[in-house]
Structure 1
Amino acid sequence: MERVVEDFILYLHETKNTSKNTEVSYERDLKKLIRYLQEQDLTSFSEVTCTDLQGYLNKIKSENLAASTISRNIASIRALYHYLLKKGIVAEDPTEVLHTPKIEKKLPEILSVEEVDRLLKQPDIRTPKGIRDNAMMELLYATGMRVSELIHLSTTDINLQMGYVVCHDSDKERIIPIGNVSRNAILQYMEHSRGFFTKDTNESALFTNCSGKSMSRQGFWKVLKGYAADAGIHRDITPHTLRHSFAAHMLQNGADVKSVQEMLGHADISSTQIYLGLNVSKMRDVYMKAHPRH
C-alpha cells in the first residue's frame, strides 16, 4: 500500500503538476490512512469498503481536527481512488458516499480606506528604495493582483501610456487598468529608481531587490510588514490583505461583481461574492450605530 501511495504522489507531480505543499499534505494524510487500515488487517486498497473509510473518518473526527483538515483528508483519499480506478487497481470507488464537512468561510481581513492611505504614505520617496516600494504597493492596491503576479511582472507588462498592466495567472493573461496615482508612482520608479537597483541592462523583471534580481515574495512581505508597523497598523497584514482591500473597496464604491471578478482573476464568481459579505457587515454596523430604533 505504501508503494501505491508513492506511485500516486509521483503521478501527481509528473502528470498533474501539483504543488510541493499539496504532495506533502496528501502523502501525510494517506500514510495515516494506511496505518489505520493495516490495524484493521487490510493489506490492499482493493479490499477497502466505504464502511472502512467511514470508520477512519469517524476516528479522525474524534481527534477534534478542524473541518478544513478533515476535508483535506477526504480530498486526499478521493484523489487516490480516482487514480486507482484509472490504473485499474480497484474496480469500484468507495469514496463516493463520503460527506465533506461544511467549512464556514471566514471573511477576509481588510484595511479601511484610511488605513490603506496611511500605509501607502510610509515609503520615503526621496530615496530609490522608497520610490520602488511606493510603486509596488500602489500597483498592488490599484489592481488587486496576487503578490506572486506582482513580482513576476516584466517591464513589457506595463503600458503607462494606455494605463494598464498585463497580469500573468498560470497559463492565462488578464489586463487590469491602473489609475493615475499608481501610473505616476511607476513612472517615477522607472525614471529615477529602477536603474539604481538594476545594473544588468538585460534584466526584464519590473521590480528587483537590492541585488538587481527579481524580488521574492518573502522579500516584499518583509517590506510591507515594516511599513505597516510604521503606519501604526498592528494587525498581521500580508500582501494578500491589499488584494482583499482592493476588492472590498471597489464593491463598496459601486463596482459590479463581474468586473471585480475579472480583475482579480477569479475563475468562479462565488470567490468574489465573499467580499459582498463585507458590505453587508459594514451596512449592519452603520445601521446599528445610526438607527434610533435598532
Structure 2
Amino acid sequence: MLLTISLSLVMGTVLLSNNMKHLKTVSHYFGFDFFPQEVSPPPPKALPRPIPPATFMLPLHVIEPPVVQTASTFLRTWRISGAAMCAALRNAGIETSDWAAASFNADTFECFFEQSGKREKDQLPSSIFVIVRGDATGTINNMRVKIINPETDENGQLDPAILRIFEIMLRQPQWLDFHETLNAIKNLKDIKEDGFGASIGFTREVLNPGNYNFTLSLDATSGPQKSTRNYFSGRRWLPLPDPAVEIDSAQPQSVSETPHTEAPAESQEHRH
C-alpha cells in the first residue's frame, strides 16, 4: 500500500509538473482529449511597404513655348480655302473677283485682281496683278502677285497699300516659319524660302528691273511628305461636323417640323 501510494505520488508529480505537459501528452496518446489543444492565432501579416508616388518627366518641347522655325515641320497644309482667301483680300481692300471656275479650264478655280495706273510724265506706268488659283474643292494650288514699277517712299520701301496684299497672303495660311519674307518684300529685295513642301519667292526680273514677281505654292516632294499628305487626305476621313448644325439639331423642334439630315459623302474634302 505504501509502495502504491508512493508510486502514485511520483506519477502524479510527474504528470502534473511542467503545467501538466506530460498528462496532456499521455491523454492525447490514449485518445482522451481532456485538454483540447489551443489554436494560436496566426501571426499578424506584415503591412505592405508604401509605394512611392510615381514620377513622370515631361519632355521640354511640351512645356516650352512653340518655336516658329518648327511650327510647320509635321504637316504642311493650306489652312484656308481659296474662297476664304479671296474674301480676306477683299476685306483688306483688294477687290478680287469671286472664287469661280477659270474660263480656260473648268477644273481650275481662281480669283484675281488687276489694277493699272496712269503713266506720269517722268514715271513709267505701274500695275498690280494678283491671282489665287486652286481646284473645285477650294484647295489652293498657288498664289501669285506681279507688280510693275511700284510706288515707294523716300526710303525706297514699298507702298503700304501694295504691301497689304503680301501681308494678307502670308498671314492667312498661318505658316509661322516664314518670317523673313515680308521684310524683304517691304524693301524690294529678292528672297526665297523653302520649308517642308512650301515655297515662297519674291524676285526682281533681270531684263525688267521694275518688275517683281511673288509666288507662294505648296508642293510635297519628298517621300515622307507625300506619305503624310496622303494619310491625312480628306478622302480618307469624314468631314468635320458643322457646329451650327449641331446647335440647331440640339434645340427642341415642334411636331410639325421634320428634322432633315444629310449623310456626308465620302468624296467630300476634309477642310483643315
Range class of TM-score, shorter chain: under 0.3
- Which structure would you say has the larger Rg? 2
Q: Which has the higher contact order (CA 8 A, sep 6+)?
A: 1
Q: Normalising to structure 1: TM-score of the pair?
A: 0.25
Q: Would you tell me which structure has more strand in proportion to its own residues?
A: 2
